Amino acid sequence: MIVYILKRLAIAIPTLLLLIIFSFLLMHAAPGGPFTQERELPAQVLANLNAKYGLDQPLWKQIASYIWGIVAHFDFGPSFVYKDRTVNEIIAQGFPVTLTYGGVSFVVAVVAGVTLGAVAAVKHNTIIDYFAVGVSIGAQVLPNFVMAPILVIVFTLILGWLPGGGWRFSDPSYWIMPVIALSTSYMASIARIMRSSMLEVLNSNHIRTARAKGLPGHRVIWRHALKPALLPVISYLGPAFVAMITGSVIVDIYFSTGGIGKAFVDSALNRDYAVMMGVTILVGALTILFNLVVDIIYGWIDPKIRY
Amino acid sequence: MKLTTALSALALLVAAPTAFAADVPEGTVLSENQTYTFWLLDAIKSMDPQINTDVEGSDILRNLFEGLYNEDAKGDIVPGVALSHDLSEDGMTYTFHLRPEAVWSDGKPVTAGDFVYAWQRLADPATASEYAWYMELMQVVNASKITAGELPPSDLGVKAIDDHTLEVTIETPLPYFPQMLVHGSTFPVRQDVIEKFGADWTKPENMIGNGAYTLTEHILGERVEMDKSDTYWDADKTVMTHLTALTINDVNQGLTRYLAGELDRVDIPAGQYPRLKKEYPDEATSLPYSCSYIYMMNMSEKGPEALKDVRVRKALSYAMNRDIVVDNILQGGQHPSYNWTHWATAGFEMPEIDYAGWTQEERNEKARELLAEAGYGPENPLDLTLNYNTSEDHKKIAIAAQQFFKPFGVNLTLNNMEWKVHTDKMQNQDFDLARYAWCGDYNEASTYLDLFTSYSGHNNGHFFNDEYDALMKESKTAEDPQPLYTQAEQILASEMPIIPIYHYAQVDMISSDIKGLPTENVMQTWYGKDLYRIAE
Amino acid sequence: MVIDSQKMKSLAEATSREDVAGRSLWADARRRFFSNKAAMFGLVLLVFVTLFALFGNYIAQWSNEEIDFSVMGMVAEQGGPSIANGHYFGTDDLGRDLFARTVQGTQISLAVGIIGSAIAVVVGTIYGATAGYFGGRLDNFMMRAVDILLAIPYMFVLILLLVMYGRSITMLFVGVGLISWLEMSRIVRGQTLTLKGREYIEAARAIGVPAPVIIRRHILPNLIGVVTVFATLLVPNMILTESFISFLGLGVQEPMTSLGALISEGSGTISYGTLWQLAFPLLFFVLTLFGFFFVGDGLRDALDPKDR
């Protein structure tokens, strides 16, 4: 088990390295730089800026010193555009926000999705089942950039219950709409997976046996059906989590939460090389970590898996 | 603005130095809640006066710092840290008399030395400011050489005679020099603070300013909070106690939140002004704003052959139906434009431009003739591309332009790209037609007209015209430059290197209880200290 | 939207079982598919949407780029759906015919979905089959590479590509296609490994049939089931991805449009009294997704019946 984890972590290093080099080259090959602006800068000012941010160095040197900065000092450098901030500061400000609403959304999606899916399966072919299927199919195809403005119109403009945007850690009323917008479609996906795998498990031999033995229905479900039915849900969680981080772009744009999703898109548009690299690496590392965690949980639930 | 009038206006103001800050009429009942929340489209890139490059950043900086002069609601300059100035006979040495009671937020006096430091810092190549060219634009002695690294910053033509007397020497007389001092990049900063904290000095806990407000919180891309500063020299007259700026990236979302009462001011999305004006007549406003929207045509060697023909350029300009753009797309009180300089620019006399007076049918007729002469028409179509950067409004205007040109046999291919790519392509003359807009740095026509001189860094279409250059050079020293500006505009109209489209308006929803925002200032410069909220 | 990887594995096993392989599998599957109500409903939706995309232009009275100047500027009052002025779905904000634009947007969305998913399937299948068939070090290396690529946040890379190199349909096809081949390659590889151990393939190898021929003749046919299902289920994913890209303003160039772009425009003006601008594109978006969704699920259930 430990060997397995170490092996996986060992792959993480070349992965991140590849990601760094790839994004770095992609970025530098793109037209326009961080200091391209409407008023073309005097040559000397541009030279000064390039010197200040090390852009006058050969590319390989820039990559090397960038990687060295991260490895040696955990320093992702200064932002090229938000000039009084470093990348570390920008991430330190935005990431906890994204992680908070992302994490809450994730939990909501899993809990609600699993419950909805399980109930639908148990009440197979009843009105509850149809309702659950309808909700989950509908929610999956409704883009969250359609849902977000509707939420604000309903909850802020018409009802006046919730703030229309912004972020406060101390006040969960700011969290509600971002969480709804972000979690709904994942909740629906999870519900669908859960429903079908639960149905399969309920029809399988060992459940039939358990029922035949006369065990009460809810105990069969709790003790025997739920755990195996969860397996496909768990393998979906890795990709879902990454997609949620990406989806945070929309949340940040509509709810002005100040998270890293918007920071990433802005940095790409502004050619803010340092912030862009920083966020990409962060999300890459999270992806690796999360996939690993999911695999470990998977192995822990499914005894058939050996490392 | 003429030199003489500028001076006499200042003299008047010096005589009555208390006529500003929040000017609350007698009998007004003020609200208990003196807070003002306004909208920002994007995150504030920097709170450092010498580093900031954005209009939105300037809006914040004007509240946290104060320069030599401020603007009043009409856009005229009024004393800030400077009470007045003397000008030497040759028009090249300004001596500013600073307000003795002005202090920083830690209680230390604002001195001439603070300005000297700030100005040197702006020009200093070590600062690598993207606005270093502003010192050059102000013609301060040695500015360009310092920025180029040929002279040390200490050689800049600015010095402190004593703590409250600042002397500036400029290279040529510049009638509008005092207007330029309103700009954020000339604001004073504290050397000791910057040296102590480095780039962190703009953090709320470190920042020392001399403006009417102090920074209490800045969450990047989320909000900026500012409290009234008790040390500000005019704090007694400052009514608004707290300012909040909220970043909302989506204009429609901004409007929804304004209507929900979360904001006091927000931009109105294109096309929504007429409806909102009907529903909220006291809140929807449209005021001229000093920016000009054009399609630039590429006349350089890399550009298409057709655009080197003045007949084609004119035909395209004539075929552009500006009334539809303004009345049916933007619908926010913008003015259709047939010239370059914004119509409301101070002192600017609109030139007589022939095609401005024609009907669109006449223009279309003329366009068809000119194109035919040049050998183009529906049988022999002209294919061009139009580059524009990502924005809902630019997109709409570009689509309309495509439709306007189509009947003339001009096929426009739309090419939408990101801002940086767009700018990069323009600067490398890699375009046929490109959307372009320019906002005045100061309220005088030269901020626009200088752009099309052959030595300007922004003349991306490579319109080179000796007569035009000569006019603009002459205007720098002319006693009355306005006739020269008018002539320059006429050259633009006869050579047509650009398709003027419209002059901007600032189209806003503003809470009806907020008073004191500028109404006649085409620069739309506002100060929190001038605002107050009345009781409803 | 998600593709359940476990079900795909089980499907792959089911379709390459020796006992059911051959004609009867497909005949049975067809029977099961056509008796599945949801799948038939999905098929009807898809046929409808496809007909709309292909022949809608013959009904449209306007082109997708013409501006109706009599409506422009008063869209909220006069741009609503109307038979009289030929704007069956109303007009967009500029006064362009929304019916024609929806037809054209549906074309683009379908094209992005189908071509993107085709790219993913082709690349994934070839890659997976190669790795699985040759095995050993090559397999090891190829699968490690997949592991590494799986850890890259693709949406970020796609955004970078589109932001930095301008938008083009090709870039969009390639971009969305390249996101999804990894999972496919894993399933195909696993399946190829199983098939490779079969006697008839070992026999073929023993008599010296070259590898590409074996792969083409014996391995790929056994993968058709799983590939078809995967591709069908991938299409709605591609369409959703494209809509996200369009929302960010990185989609196709005007005057072309996609359903995602139309929805994004419509949702911006949701409170300005022009609800049709959201409703019609969203309707076709939802119908398309449902169609692929139900058909994909139906195909899978048909090929991998649990009641066996």
The answer to whether residues B493 and B517 belong to one domain is: no
Region A139-154: what's the mean pLDDT?
Answer: 88
Q: What is the pLDDT of residue B3?
A: 38
Find how far residue B98's CA is from the centre of its chain: 26
* Contact flag C4-A236 (C-beta cutoff 8 Å): yes
- Read off the amino acid at residue C135: G
The secondary element (H helix, E strand) that includes residue B181 is none
Cα separation, A139 vs A150, whole angstroms: 14
**Both tokens assigned to B361:** 């049918």
The answer to whether residues B189 and B325 belong to one domain is: no
Q: Which pTM was predicted?
A: 0.87
Q: What is the pLDDT of residue C1?
A: 45
Q: Which residues of A touch B199 (CB under 8 A)?
A: 78, 83-86
Instruction: Tell which of C64, C72, C91, C161 to mutate to test the B interface (max B CBs under 10 Å).
Output: C72
In SS3 terms, B442-462 reads as CCCCHHHHHHHCCCCCCCCCC
Q: What is the CATH number of the domain that holds B156?
A: 3.90.76.10
Residue C9, pLDDT above cutoff 80: no
Find how far residue A149's CA is from the centre of its chain: 21
Q: Give the model confidence (pLDDT) of B443-480 as tens digits.
A: 889 989 999 998 887 889 999 999 999 999 888 878 88
The answer to whether residues B236 and B340 belong to one domain is: no
The secondary element (H helix, E strand) that includes residue C214 is helix C211-214
Residues in chain B predicted with pLDDT less than 70, given as ranges, are: 1-21
Domain ranges of chain C: 45-307
Q: What is the pLDDT of residue B11?
A: 42
Q: Which residues of B touch A51 (CB under 8 A)?
A: 128
Q: Which residues of B touch C93 (CB under 8 A)?
A: 271, 396
Percentages helix, strand, coil for chain C (3-state, rounded to 5) are: 70, 0, 25
Where does residue B159 fall: left (phi above 0), alpha (psi -120 to 50 degrees), or beta otherwise? Answer: beta
**Both tokens assigned to B389:** 């950067």
Q: Give the model confidence (pLDDT) of A185-225 as tens digits.
A: 889 889 988 888 888 888 777 777 777 777 777 777 777 77
pLDDT band at A48 (very low <50, low <70, confident <90, very high): confident
Region A136-151: what's the mean pLDDT?
Answer: 87
**CB contact at 8 A, B521 and B74:** yes
Angle at B492 between CA B487 and CA B493, to 5 degrees: 95
The answer to whether residues B121 and B224 belong to one domain is: yes
Cα separation, B297 vs A123, whole angstroms: 68
B53 touches chain A (CB under 8 A): yes
Region A11-34: what's the mean pLDDT?
Answer: 80
Domain that holds residue B212: 35-245+511-533
Where does residue A222 fall: left (phi above 0), alpha (psi -120 to 50 degrees), or beta otherwise? Answer: alpha
Cα separation, C209 vs B62, whole angstroms: 80
First to last CA, chain B: 40
Which member of B45, B222, B424 has the closest CB to residue A32? B424
B28 touches chain C (CB under 8 A): no
Beta-bridged to residue A226, according to DSSP, are: none
What CATH architecture does domain C45-307 belong to?
Answer: Orthogonal Bundle (1.10)
Q: Is residue B279 part of a domain?
A: no
Which member of B250, B256, B271 has the closest CB to residue C93? B271
**How many angstroms separate the most distant Cα atoms in chain C?**
77
The answer to whether residues B415 and B333 belong to one domain is: yes
Domain ranges of chain A: 93-263
Q: What is the pLDDT of residue B205?
A: 93
* Cα atoms in the 13 Å half-sphere on the side-chain side of C271: 21
Q: Is residue B268 part of a domain?
A: no
Q: Within 10 A of C212 (CB to CB), how many other CB atoms are there?
A: 10
Cα separation, C284 vs C286, whole angstroms: 5
Q: What is the pLDDT of residue B18?
A: 43
Q: Residue B407 carries which DSSP code?
A: G
Q: What is the pLDDT of residue C80?
A: 84
Q: Give the model confidence (pLDDT) of C150-205 as tens digits.
A: 777 777 777 777 776 666 777 777 777 777 788 888 888 888 888 887 888 888 88
Select the more confidently predicted residue: B54 or C308.
B54
Residue in A with minimal Cα distance to B123: A45
* Cα atoms in the 13 Å half-sphere on the side-chain side of B348: 28
Q: Give the model confidence (pLDDT) of C253-277 as tens digits.
A: 888 899 999 999 898 888 888 889 9
The answer to whether residues B144 and B108 belong to one domain is: yes
Residue C21, pLDDT above cutoff 60: no
Global ipTM:
0.85
The answer to whether residues B494 and B525 belong to one domain is: no
* Contact flag A185-C243 (C-beta cutoff 8 Å): no
Which member of B271, B331, B395 has the closest CB to residue C254? B395
Angle at A295 between CA A292 and CA A296, to 5 degrees: 90
Residue A279, pLDDT above cutoff 50: yes
Q: Is residue B369 part of a domain?
A: yes
Helices A176-202 and A226-255, interaxial angle, to 10°?
160
Instruction: Tell which of C101, C267, C272, C274 to mutate to test the B interface (max B CBs under 10 Å).
Output: C272
Residue C33, pLDDT above cutoff 80: yes
From the CA of C86, how many Å to the nearest CA of chain A? 27
Residue C5, pLDDT above cutoff 60: yes
Find how far residue A270's CA is from the centre of its chain: 23
**CB contact at 8 A, C103 and C60:** yes
Q: Which among B134, B98, B105 is positioned nearest to B119, based on CA atoms?
A: B134
Q: What is the pLDDT of residue B130?
A: 84
In SS3 terms, B244-309 reads as EEEECCCHHHHHHHHHCCCCCEEECCCCCHHHHHHHCCCCEEEEEEEEEEEEEECCCCCCCHHHHC
B279 touches chain A (CB under 8 A): no
The answer to whether residues B232 and B294 belong to one domain is: no
Q: Within 10 A of B279 (CB to CB), how many other CB atoms are there?
A: 10
**CB contact at 8 A, B481 and B487:** no
The answer to whether residues B293 and B316 belong to one domain is: yes
What CATH architecture does domain A93-263 belong to?
Answer: Orthogonal Bundle (1.10)
The answer to whether residues B370 and B442 belong to one domain is: yes
Q: What is the pLDDT of residue C17?
A: 64
Count of the separate structural domains present in chain B: 2
A–B: how many Cβ contacts below 8 A? Answer: 150
Residue A81, pLDDT above cutoff 80: yes
Which member of B144, B420, B458 has the closest CB to residue A36? B420
The answer to whether residues B320 and B376 belong to one domain is: yes
The answer to whether residues B50 and B136 belong to one domain is: yes
Give residues 159 to 178 of C whose Cβ lies within 8 Å of A.
159-161, 163-165
Q: What is the CATH number of the domain that holds B338?
A: 3.10.105.10
Which member of A150, A197, A232 has the closest CB to residue C270? A150
* Contact flag C244-A143 (C-beta cutoff 8 Å): yes
Q: Is residue B259 part of a domain?
A: no
Cα separation, C239 vs C226, whole angstroms: 21
